Amino acid sequence: MRLELAGITKRFGSLVANDGVDLVVEPGEIRCLLGENGAGKTTLMNVLFGLLRHDAGEIRVDGEAVEFADPGDAVRRGIGMVHQHFMLVPVFTVAENVVLGFEPTRRVGFLDRRRARADVARLSAEFGLEVEPDALVESLPVGIQQRVEILKALQRDAQLLILDEPTAVLTPQEIQALFGIMRSLAASGRSILFITHKLKEVMAVADRITVMRLGRVVGTARPGETSEADLAAMMVGRSVELVVRKAKAQPGREVLALAGLTVVDERGVTVVDHVDLTVRAGEIVALAGVQGNGQTELAEAITGLRAVASGSVRVDGLELTNATPRQVIRAGVAHVPEDRQGDGLVSRMTIAENLILDVYDQRPYARLGSLDLAEVRRQGEAKLVDFDIRAASAAVAVGTLSGGNQQKVVVARELSRPVKLLVACQPTRGLDVGSIEYVHRRIVEERDAGAAVLIVSSELDEVLALGDRIAVMFRGRLTGVVTPRAGRERIGLLMAGVEEPDLPPPAEGEGDAEAVTALDLT
């Protein structure tokens, strides 16, 4: 299918999300749409898939202008979409999910299971998408669930497949497998629109690359004729070299000590399995792993948000196993939660109020059960300056800020207490380059001031850039603790569950005086 987008414009109020976007996808082409979070990629795809109506411009399929009122229209014209969050019914089998909404039926409306299974088997074989048709979707790893999504699109005879950030939840090995599938689909004449913000993937798989920034197309390139640095510069609109500048760690006393930590979730699944880990004062330990391998639950167990089934959590010698969040906070633990809007902030309340969520009942904000609103406001305004939060005033509702500024509010609140241990989960997810730089600098400063830091991140580049030591989790267990010098490949293997003996923490005097690790713009 030849798809043409001509002058697509989409506005949300005063915000122009897509500004006259032109894009042509040729049959059999893998076209990458590259851009930072907020560049307008997802909006464009939602317009293309009939989820949003564009305000101006035209969509043409094989030269013919089309209007999609809803995703059903788009599917009928041969467009398929694999969303970032899967749209699968967990308790249905693969075959049932694949035919859902377009079920083959026999007479009197009985579901033709055999045909559904045969469809899945045929499509799997054709494109090398190995899936067991009778497996329950909930029992499958995310990589396979994604294949089910792709099969769904193919079953509806998609000639153009939109993949929205498909690699975010995959291991490096699964990503390679996905790329193989994409190539075989392209070879069959189907077009693929691959949305991502990861440069390496673009270079590996794209035929052509379209870069978006602030709602516009800022350039088109071919992988052989450009470099990651060029693409990065296009994405951010300026030539940036993102580095985390940090001196060599000076690990001191043991602050966080996890011994045999085990967490069982609501479904009775052991999500953290006998984890032993220590974090010393003055070092950053980065917890790497594909999302959903227990890192989040580990952080929640430390911060008192999730019950510990067995084992212990100690912070600076203080027993905090199954302590309340308040006790953990009072023990000097700062926590930047993974879900900033869900757990970190109250979006309807003001910046100043959000800055005192954890200390609202203490001096100088409270006296005899009554809030000192003037003091709350004064401190709020002061922190706008201290933490470079861009807002008109501290009386602005936090929900109106950009992601970067929201995260700065969380960071400002958490680092305004005396911190012995900082637990930061996905601290830069969804942030712009400037905010990423800022948050990373603050984290390193905190380390240099003597705090122990535990970073949970599924971005390998962030882990490599920030971590003095890197602990890798897979299916609830620690598969290894290594230094950043272990390299991408080896950490990738650990993330996929290939275990190896723990490495000792870096010995004194080893390594460079100043370790500068380049952070790729991923």
Partner 1 sequence: MTRTETGPTQAAAPGTTVAASPRGEPPAWARLAHRLVEANVAVVTVLAFFTALVIGAILITATTPAVLHAWGQAGSAPGHAFYVTGTTIGDAYGAIFTGSIISPSALGHAISTGKGWTGVFNPISETLVRAAPLILAGLGVALGFSTGVFNIGAQGQLIAGAIAALYVGFAVHLPIGIHLPLVVLGGAAGGALAGFIPGILKARTGAHEVIVTIMLNYVFLDLLTYLLTSQPFQQPGQSNAISRTMPATARLPHLFGSTLRANLGFVIALAAALAVSWFARRSTLGFSFRVIGANQSAGRTAGMDVRRVTMLVLTISGALAGLAGTVSLSGTDFFLSAGYGGNIGFDAITVALLGRNRPLGVVLGALLFAALDVGGANMQVATGIPIDLSSVIQATIVFCIATPMLVRELYRLRDVGGGSIQLFMKGWSS
Which residues sit at the interface with partner 1, rule CB under 8 A? 12-15, 17, 36-40, 42-43, 214-215, 303, 305, 324-326, 328-330, 335, 337, 339, 342-349, 353, 357-358, 360-361, 365-366, 369-371, 373, 390-392, 400-405, 430, 432
**Minimum CB distance to partner 1, residue 246 (Å):** 26
Burial annotation 86-108 (CB, 10 A radius, 16+ → b, else e): bebeeebbbbbbbbeeeeeeeee
Can you give the three-state secondary structure of 20-70, one letter per residue? EEEEEECCCCEEEEECCCCCCHHHHHHHHCCCCCCCEEEEEECCEEECCCC
Residue 230, number of CB atoms within 10 A of its CB: 15
**Smaller CB separation from partner 1, 123 or 376:** 376
Q: Least distance from C-beta 305 to partner 1, angstroms?
A: 6
Tell how strand 30-34 and strand 191-196 pair up: parallel
Nearer to partner 1, 140 or 355 (CB): 355
Long-range contacts of 171-177 (CB under 8 A, 24+ apart): 171/143, 171/290, 171/492, 171/495, 171/496, 172/460, 172/488, 172/492, 172/495, 172/496, 173/492, 173/496, 174/142, 174/143, 175/201, 177/143
> Smallest distance from the beta carbon of 22 to partner 1, in angstroms?
18
**248, 515 Cβ separation under 8 angstroms:** yes
Minimum CB separation from partner 1 for residue 116, in Å? Answer: 33
Pick between residue 80 and residue 344 the one whose CB is nearest to partner 1: 344
279-302 core/surface letters (b: 16 or more CB in 10 A; e: else): bbbbbbbbbbbbeebbbbbbbbbb
Nearer to partner 1, 303 or 479 (CB): 303
Quick one: which of 302, 296, 306, 295 has its CA closest to 495?
Answer: 295
- Please identify, using beta-carbon distances, which residue of 41 and 246 lies nearer to partner 1: 41
Cβ-based nearer residue to partner 1, 143 or 304: 304
Supply the minimum distance, in Å, between the C-beta of residue 262 and partner 1: 22
Residue 116, phi-psi category: left (phi > 0), alpha (psi -120 to 50), beta (remainder): alpha
Shortest distance (Å) from residue 408 CB to partner 1: 12
CB of 172 to partner 1, least distance (A): 28
Using the minimum distance from each CB to partner 1, give the nearer residue, 358 or 502.
358
* Closest distance of CB 513 from partner 1, Å: 36
Bond from prior residue into 104 cis (ω within 30 degrees of 0):
no
Q: Which is nearer to partner 1, 361 or 499 (CB)?
A: 361
Q: Strands 160-164, 79-82: parallel, antiparallel or unpaired by DSSP?
A: parallel
Q: At its nearest, how many Å lie between partner 1 and the CB of residue 405?
A: 6
Nearer to partner 1, 134 or 319 (CB): 319
For the CB of residue 55, give the shortest distance to partner 1 in the complex, in Å: 12
Q: How far is CA 117 from CA 11, 94, 96, 130, 134, in A?
A: 43, 9, 8, 13, 8
- Measured from the CB atom, the residue of 269 and 373 that comes closer to partner 1 is 373
Is residue 296 within 8 A of residue 342, CB to CB? The reply is no
